[in-house]
């Protein structure tokens, strides 16, 4: 059997081990240290926009802290994009708040501004003004942040921007993660860069970042003994993992270009197949193309469906994956409010993520493409 082609795997550079070795050599084996500070500075410099950064143990931890900073309490409501990974919604429930899900639009597959405003006005009419809005940049494609931020400003609701999949993506050259009151990033093993496991909280409000760092280190008060006036969390990134991140930051532009090259390869190979379409970039939007995705229209593909392609790839030792199943269709979230049509649902039914690692070589990309083309030639 041919070797396994994975969906998205870590891709190490040359410097990660140097920074990790420095941590061992200096005995900074702790959830603080020079690598943590350096990684935060590297991220801040990359993001620009005068952003401050707190390096944390995961993107989920960053989102949890963001909602705490915005004083989300039990019984509050938080608007969340429905088409996303469950980690975008889970922290809402950690705090005893209610998620209110919003459909996607077809241009970016992200939060639909029309249904966002409909959700806000309806929740206000029902006596519950939402405490926060969580748009997500799916697969690296930016959401319509101009429209979302205008609506959020109109109703004075803070935005927590989930850029877990979108490090390096931009709208008019402004980095995703820097539009909202707070942004979050993920450095999980399958992301465009990794720290093994890790994340970050971003804000132009330095007090938010300081408070997040305080809460992430068990909320220890200034005292010679252990004293606590707040509930704290063990959410700080380790100095070892941050060392990996510092090495990864040195190759981030290259990793983004490699992922974008993957998209271009697949588009050239597959765009003429009947019923196959790709998500193009709206004007001014630049996606890091974390994962390349396709839609399969059975009415145009002579009955070939997304699942036919996924299973054929699986038979050939190639990992692919359906698009995110929307949160309002998930068993754990199906009872919560939802505003929208069926855009997210149709994307889930017809969409497929193709192998997109920055370490894939052309022969592997060709193998994936040929396997898909074979189905249409039978």
Last residue of a domain, one of 230, 251, 272: 251
- State residue 60's pLDDT score: 98
* Domains held by the chain: number: 2
CA–CA distance, 70 with 57 (Å, rounded to integer): 20
Using alpha carbons, select from 71, 109, 49, 45 the residue that is nearest to residue 281.
109
CA–CA distance, 247 with 260 (Å, rounded to integer): 21
The parent domain of residue 372 ranges over 253-377
CA–CA distance, 212 with 208 (Å, rounded to integer): 6
Paired sense of beta strands 199-203 and 182-186, if any: antiparallel
Claim to verify: residue 139 and residue 164 sit in the same structural domain: yes
Claim to verify: residue 306 and residue 235 sit in the same structural domain: no
Last residue of a domain, one of 251, 279, 308: 251
Claim to verify: residue 245 and residue 148 sit in the same structural domain: yes
- State residue 378's pLDDT score: 81
Helices marked H in the chain: 16-25, 34-47, 59-69, 90-94, 113-125, 145-155, 206-216, 239-249, 252-270, 306-315, 343-350, 362-377
Q: What is the largest CA-CA distance in the chain?
A: 74
Claim to verify: residue 169 and residue 286 sit in the same structural domain: no
CA–CA distance, 30 with 137 (Å, rounded to integer): 32
Tell me the three state secondary structure of residue 159. strand
Q: Is residue 3 part of a domain?
A: no
Q: Is residue 238 part of a domain?
A: yes
Indicate whether 148 pLDDT > 80: yes
pTM over 0.75: yes
Is residue 140 within 8 Å of 186, Cβ to Cβ?
no
Claim to verify: residue 120 and residue 61 sit in the same structural domain: yes
Claim to verify: residue 301 and residue 231 sit in the same structural domain: no
Percent of the chain predicted with pLDDT > 90: 97
Claim to verify: residue 345 and residue 294 sit in the same structural domain: yes
CATH code for the domain in which residue 352 is found: 3.90.1150.10
pLDDT, tens digit, for every residue of 214-235?
Answer: 999 999 999 999 999 999 999 9
Q: Is residue 2 part of a domain?
A: no
CATH code for the domain in which residue 28 is found: 3.40.640.10
Claim to verify: residue 44 and residue 181 sit in the same structural domain: yes
Average pLDDT, the chain: 97
Residues comprising the chain, all counted: 378
Is residue 249 within 8 Å of 39, Cβ to Cβ?
yes
pLDDT, tens digit, for every residue of 155-191?
Answer: 999 999 999 999 999 999 999 999 999 999 999 999 9
Last residue of a domain, one of 251, 280, 310: 251
Q: Is residue 4 part of a domain?
A: no
Claim to verify: residue 294 and residue 177 sit in the same structural domain: no
Claim to verify: residue 196 and residue 338 sit in the same structural domain: no
Would the CA dihedral through 79, 83, 86, 88 be positive or negative? negative
Is residue 353 within 8 Å of 318, Cβ to Cβ?
no
CA–CA distance, 139 with 323 (Å, rounded to integer): 9
Claim to verify: residue 44 and residue 134 sit in the same structural domain: yes
Using alpha carbons, select from 271, 280, 294 the residue that is nearest to residue 353.
294
Is residue 128 within 8 Å of 366, Cβ to Cβ?
no
CA–CA distance, 212 with 61 (Å, rounded to integer): 10
pLDDT, tens digit, for every residue of 82-100?
Answer: 999 999 999 999 999 999 9
Question: Measuring CA to CA, how many Å separate 251 from each of 11, 102, 126, 257?
Answer: 10, 35, 49, 10
CA–CA distance, 66 with 184 (Å, rounded to integer): 8
Claim to verify: residue 247 and residue 352 sit in the same structural domain: no
Is residue 165 within 8 Å of 139, Cβ to Cβ?
yes
């Amino acid at each position: 059997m041919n070797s396994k082609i994975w969906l998205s795997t870590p891709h190490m550079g040359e410097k990660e081990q140097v920074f990790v070795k420095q941590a061992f050599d200096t005995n900074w084996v702790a959830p603080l240290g020079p690598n943590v500070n350096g990684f935060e500075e590297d991220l801040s410099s990359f993001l620009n926009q005068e952003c401050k950064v707190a390096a944390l143990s995961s993107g989920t931890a960053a989102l949890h802290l963001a909602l705490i900073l915005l004083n989300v309490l039990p019984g509050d409501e938080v608007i969340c994009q429905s088409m996303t990974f469950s980690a975008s919604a889970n922290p809402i429930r950690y705090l005893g708040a209610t998620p209110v899900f919003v459909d996607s639009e077809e241009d970016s597959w992200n939060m639909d501004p029309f249904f966002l405003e409909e959700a806000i006005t309806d929740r206000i009419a029902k006596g519950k003004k939402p405490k926060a809005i969580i748009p997500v940049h799916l697969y690296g494609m930016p959401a319509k942040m101009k429209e979302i931020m205008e609506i959020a400003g109109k109703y004075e609701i803070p935005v927590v921007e989930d850029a877990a999949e979108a490090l390096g993506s931009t709208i008019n050259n402004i980095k995703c993660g820097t539009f909202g009151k707070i942004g979050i990033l993920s450095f999980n093993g399958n992301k465009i860069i990794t720290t093994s496991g890790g994340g970050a909280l971003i804000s132009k409000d330095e007090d938010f970042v300081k408070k997040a760092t305080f809460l992430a280190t068990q909320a220890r008060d200034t005292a010679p003994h252990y004293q606590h006036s707040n509930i704290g969390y063990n959410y700080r990134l380790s100095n070892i993992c941050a060392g990996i991140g510092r090495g990864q930051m040195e190759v981030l532009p290259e990793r983004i270009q490699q992922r974008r090259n993957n998209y271009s390869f697949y588009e050239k190979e597959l765009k003429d197949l009947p019923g196959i379409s790709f998500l193009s970039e709206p004007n001014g939007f630049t996606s890091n193309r974390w994962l390349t995705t396709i839609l399969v229209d059975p009415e145009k593909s002579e009955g070939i469906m997304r699942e036919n392609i996924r299973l054929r790839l699986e038979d050939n030792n190639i990992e692919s994956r359906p698009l995110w199943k929307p949160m309002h269709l998930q068993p754990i979230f199906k009872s919560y409010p939802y505003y929208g049509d069926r855009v997210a649902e149709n994307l889930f039914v017809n969409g497929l993520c193709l192998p997109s690692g920055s370490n894939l070589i052309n022969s592997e990309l060709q193998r994936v493409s040929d396997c898909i083309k074979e189905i249409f030639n039978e």
